[in-house]
Amino acid sequence: MDIESLPLRDDLVGEEPYGAPQIVVPTVLNVNENPYPPSEAVAREMAEAVVAAATTLNRYPDREATALRQDLAAYLGHGLSVDNIWVANGSNEIMLHLLTAFGGPGRTVLTFAPTYSMYPEYARNTLTKFVAYPRREDFSVDAGLVLGAIDIHEPTVILLARPNNPTGTGIPLEAIDQICRQTEAIVVVDEAYQEFSAEPSAISLLDQHPRLVVSRTMSKAFALAGGRVGYMAADPAIVDACRIVRLPYHLSAQTQAVARVALRHADELLAKVAELAAEARAFEDWARGRGYDVVPSQANFSLFGRFRDRHAVWQGLLDRGVLIRETGPDGYLRASAGTPEEMQALKDALDDMNPEKES
């Protein structure tokens, strides 16, 4: 049987499942993961926590993930409590909950392109109209740009990636403050890469703006992509809205147990964050020195180009054992920060290819 013969929703006909290619090569720099796995000691503690959870797997897990949410509140600080925190299977699920609760038919979600390629998918899946308003030429967004776009499109939800993926561009805290002051929309600040940035988190603004949501993840800096844990901090009423739309028992007992161990070892798991940001900045300096155009980044990845044929460059790197990401504006490629050895492999492969650039 093929998919065309099924009564698939009209708007899903011809769609492809989202995701970067999962290819086994020596150097994997394509999905912005932390290249350093948990230590043996932390891995063992996670295994023990899973064993303990397994003794009660006949029962459903804590539907409210209360203990984990308490730990996340303590980790974030800023006087947040369990009622301010929601947690799910990756921040992707957090944002799906938000759009399920606040989007839907007849409503609009507004974001600023180029940005995270999953945003249109949450909108599509929740039947929310998706508007990707262009960023400034240098990929920045400012309060004027956002407020102008709000006037035109009247969104109920605004998604602002900070730092942005795939450009690495930040948004000053004052701009977030000014936007929140002047809109009734739910403003979701996606801080998936916050730990790598020198800008303060928008969490400090939650007190003043009850419709502000700060989304975070354990997939990037926290070195727990495989654990699938994302979370948000917001007013308790917004958490309650997410609780209405979540599937019951959405977060497994094993996931909750592993995440709690990871949080107990936050210092260790986050130990490489500064080094990884420095690797990305060093790669950018190197790339500028070689005549590439590099977009200033505040995250653990770099967007560089511009290539006459970026697909050929992506493929050439892959042929040399280096997997990066073909994404973002025309002519650019994105590479995640890796270990020093991985960054050397990337630079060697680029030098070996010496790809044609556009001026």
Ligand X SMILES: *Cc1c(COP(=O)(O)O)cnc(C)c1O
Chain Cα centroid distance, residue 256: 20
Q: Does 217 bind ligand X (CB under 6 A)?
A: yes
For residues 14 and 285, give the distance between their C-alpha atoms in angstroms, rounded to a whole number: 41
- For 189, other C-beta atoms within 10 Å of its C-beta total 27
In the complex, minimum distance from the CB of residue 131 to ligand X, in angstroms, rounded to a whole number: 17
Among candidate residues 3, 47, 23, 77, the one with its CA nearest the CA of residue 326: 23
For residues 349 and 332, give the distance between their C-alpha atoms in angstroms, rounded to a whole number: 16
Select 232 or 322, whichever has its Cβ closest to ligand X.
Answer: 232
Distance between first and last Cα of the chain:
49
Q: Does 35 bind ligand X (CB under 6 A)?
A: no
In the complex, minimum distance from the CB of residue 57 to ligand X, in angstroms, rounded to a whole number: 24
In the complex, minimum distance from the CB of residue 320 to ligand X, in angstroms, rounded to a whole number: 25
Stretch that binds ligand X, among 218-226, 272-280, 326-334, 341-349 (CB under 6 A): 218-226
Token pair listed for 118:
């999953």
For residues 5 and 114, give the distance between their C-alpha atoms in angstroms, rounded to a whole number: 34
In the complex, minimum distance from the CB of residue 94 to ligand X, in angstroms, rounded to a whole number: 8
For residues 130 and 27, give the distance between their C-alpha atoms in angstroms, rounded to a whole number: 35
Stretch that binds ligand X, among 73-81, 217-225, 283-291, 315-323 (CB under 6 A): 217-225
Residue nearest to ligand X (CB): 90
Is residue 232 within 8 A of residue 215, CB to CB? The reply is yes
Select 32 or 169, whichever has its Cβ closest to ligand X.
Answer: 32
Stretch that binds ligand X, among 2-10, 70-78, 84-92, 99-107 (CB under 6 A): 84-92
Q: Which of 45, 121, 190, 342 binds ligand X (CB under 6 A)?
A: 190
Q: Does 90 bind ligand X (CB under 6 A)?
A: yes
Buried b (16+ CB within 10 A) or exposed e, 131-152: bbbebeeebbbbbebbeebbee
In the complex, minimum distance from the CB of residue 217 to ligand X, in angstroms, rounded to a whole number: 3
Name the site residues for ligand X (rule: CB under 6 A): 32, 90-92, 116, 161, 165, 190, 192, 217, 219-220, 225, 230
